[in-house]
């Protein structure tokens, strides 16, 4: 599944990107710190999963949400505290066991959503997941 990350926090980006690259089922396409660049990218490329930093909430993020294609599954990611150790470096294992479990559950939900969406034009109210 093709993935992009939208966050202004470089540590969150690094942590999520590391998890994506470690997964056999996910393909990292790009990361964005600006909403309009992410929107333009999604027009030109097939994005199955969007990892969206919930901390980027402002008026522009509301406008951005309207540009997300209906068949893109959105996973809201937490602030970067889960990814950083006390000395400010990215942890080798960025998530606790609970956070890793939530990441996997999010990917499982995305797989289900995308498989159902392929079979029939599924109009889900749950096309998002929060880690």
DSSP codes of every residue in the chain: -EEEEE-S-HHHHHHHHHHHHH-SS-EEEEEESSHHHHHHHHHHS--SEEEEEGGG-SHHHHHHHTTS-TT-EEEEE--GGGTB-TTSPBPSS-S-HHHHHHHHHHHHHHHHHHHHHHHS----S--EEE-
Mean pLDDT, the chain, whole residue set: 79
Q: What is the pTM of this model?
A: 0.75
Q: What pLDDT is attached to residue 11?
A: 82
Q: What pLDDT is attached to residue 76?
A: 86
Using CA atoms, how far apart are residues 30 and 63, in angstroms rounded to an integer? 20
Are 75 and 106 a contacting pair, CB within 8 Å?
yes
Other residues' Cβ atoms within 10 Å of the Cβ of residue 24: 4
Is 98 buried (19+), middle (13-18) or exposed (0-12) by CB count in 10 A? exposed
2-130 topology per CATH = Rossmann fold (3.40.50)
Q: What pLDDT is attached to residue 2?
A: 95
Confidence band of 92 (pLDDT split at 50, 70, 90): low
Are 112 and 73 a contacting pair, CB within 8 Å?
no
Q: Which residue has the higher pLDDT, 127 or 38?
A: 38
How large is the average pLDDT for residues 70-99? 65
């Amino acid at each position: 599944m093709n993935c992009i990350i939208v966050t202004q926090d470089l540590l969150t980006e690094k942590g999520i990107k590391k998890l994506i690259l470690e997964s056999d089922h996910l393909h990292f396409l790009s990361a964005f710190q600006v909403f309009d660049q992410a929107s333009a990218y999604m027009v030109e490329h097939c994005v199955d999963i969007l990892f969206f930093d919930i901390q980027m909430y402002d008026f522009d993020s509301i406008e951005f949400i309207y540009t997300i294609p209906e068949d893109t599954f959105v996973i809201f990611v937490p602030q970067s505290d889960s990814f950083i150790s006390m000395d400010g470096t990215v942890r080798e294992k960025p998530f606790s066991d609970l956070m890793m479990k939530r990441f996997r559950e999010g990917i499982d939900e995305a797989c289900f959503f995308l498989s159902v969406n392929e079979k029939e034009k599924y109009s889900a109210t749950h096309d998002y997941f929060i880690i």
